[in-house]
């Protein structure tokens, strides 16, 4: 089961996905809301905190989650504050009941990862792409539009055209032809 703990929250935060199952994890920690309380309403324990990237809106609550649940934090770059362990490009990680492939997708931020499970037909896209062809900002530190376009193209080469659901770092998840939204993001990024 995948639940967005930040749904309906009005704060400077990312979405925070609680993935329950064999390995219960949070994907991103969010910012400026009681993510610990929201997680405690659903689970007693967490096995890990996995980061799509380390922008403040995705990691602001990280210290609270680590303190409350005594979990290790996994991300692309262990040199980033708060990241305990590295997840390499194309490494397999278990989220809930499924294996996901980590895909290094810089352009929005150098340490950005997406997580894709073919068996679950699920993509965690972070801030690379959003619903309706939106794409991550490239005007922040470490942002680069050409690199972002390359990352979107790479993601398209990895995911299946019949992808079932895409969970994004902001806004709604997409469960109606999300592959098309990723294609639209690539087109929009080229036009901008």
Local confidence pLDDT in tens for the 192 residues of the chain? 999 999 999 999 999 999 999 999 999 999 999 999 999 999 999 999 999 999 999 999 999 999 999 999 999 999 999 999 999 999 999 999 999 999 999 999 999 999 999 999 999 999 999 999 999 999 999 999 999 999 999 999 999 999 999 999 999 999 999 999 999 999 999 996
Rg of the chain taking only CA atoms, in angstroms? 15
pLDDT at position 171 is: 96
50: Cα within 13 Å, side-chain hemisphere: 26
The 10 Å CB-count burial string (b at 16+, else e) for 113-151 is bbbbbeebbbbbbbbbbbbebbbbebeeebbebebbbbb
pLDDT at position 104 is: 98
Task: Say how far apart CA 90 and CA 111 lie, in whole Å.
Answer: 14
Domains of the chain: 2-191 (3.60.15.10)
pLDDT at position 192 is: 67
Task: Say how far apart CA 130 and CA 22 lie, in whole Å.
Answer: 28
């Amino acid at each position: 089961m995948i639940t967005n703990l930040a749904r309906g929250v009005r704060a400077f935060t990312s979405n925070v996905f609680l993935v329950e199952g064999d390995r219960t994890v949070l994907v991103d920690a969010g910012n400026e809301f009681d993510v610990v309380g929201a997680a405690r309403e659903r689970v007693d324990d967490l096995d890990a905190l996995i980061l799509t990237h380390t922008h403040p809106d995705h990691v602001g609550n990280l210290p609270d989650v680590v303190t409350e649940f005594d979990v290790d934090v996994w991300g692309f770059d262990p040199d980033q504050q708060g990241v305990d362990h590295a997840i390499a490009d194309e490494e397999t990680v278990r989220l809930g009941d499924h294996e996901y492939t980590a895909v290094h997708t810089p352009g929005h931020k150098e340490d950005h990862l997406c997580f894709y499970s073919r068996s679950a037909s699920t993509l965690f896209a972070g801030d690379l792409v959003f619903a309706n062809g939106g794409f991550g900002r490239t005007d922040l530190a470490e942002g680069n539009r050409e690199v972002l376009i390359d990352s979107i193209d790479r993601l398209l080469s990895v995911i299946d055209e019949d992808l079932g659901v895409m969970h994004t770092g902001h806004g709604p998840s997409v469960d109606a032809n999300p592959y098309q939204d990723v294609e639209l993001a690539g087109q929009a990024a080229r036009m901008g």
